Structure 1
Amino acid sequence: MSPAPTFITCSDLSFDWPDGTPVFEGFQLTVGPGRTGLIGRNGCGKSTLLKLIAGELAANEGQLAVSGTVGQLPQTVTFDTALRVDEALGVRTARAALH
């Protein structure tokens, strides 16, 4: 059985930084299943939006609904250099099962 499709809906989403600087006010977005690219100028809020969707930040106002599974690759990834690649990627058990 295949997993349920992923949908993301932002309705009247608002987010301010702790110093009061607004990032979004009344933001609207609907994303259906499949891959979606997010483009924009540096500093316009792309990473902040992704952190809101991933649950790493909380919106000041509005609704954010995510159904299904969302994958995110952070801009900065720090790996433990003592780990093997399959361990760092979290696929060690699956890789070992192939042998």
Structure 2
Amino acid sequence: MTKLLLTLENVSYSLPNGSTLFTNVHAQLSDTSVGLVGRNGVGKSVLARILAKQVAPTSGHCHHYGPVYYLPQQLPLTAKT
């Protein structure tokens, strides 16, 4: 049995320069695996960070019913000692 994990209601995001990445996104995601696929620059990472509460949407709401984690595409390099 799947459990509702989060809901997006009218979520939009605009960059500081005024460019809009996406508008009025509606979704309900459960605790099953989910893939986020799209062309470069369309806002996949920003949407994933909104889902994980690392970034606030420009408008709309993201309701969480459990933990959501974000793993960045690139991890910072650390020097070996």
TM-score grouping bracket, smaller chain normalisation: 0.7 to 0.9
TM-score (norm 1): 0.70
Give the structure with the larger helix fraction: 1
Computing the radius of gyration from Cα coordinates, the structure with the larger value is 1
Q: How much is the aligned-residue C-alpha RMSD, in angstroms?
A: 1.8
User: Match for residue 52 of structure 1?
Assistant: 50
Name structure 1 gaps, 5 residues minimum.
Answer: 84-99
Higher-RCO chain (CA-CA 8 Å, sequence separation at least 6): 2
User: How many residue pairs get matched?
Assistant: 79
Percent of aligned positions that are identical: 29
TM-score (norm 2): 0.83
User: Match for residue 12 of structure 1?
Assistant: 10
Name structure 2 gaps, 5 residues minimum.
Answer: none
User: Match for residue 87 of structure 1?
Assistant: none
> Runs of 4 or more off by more than 3 Å in structure 1?
79-83
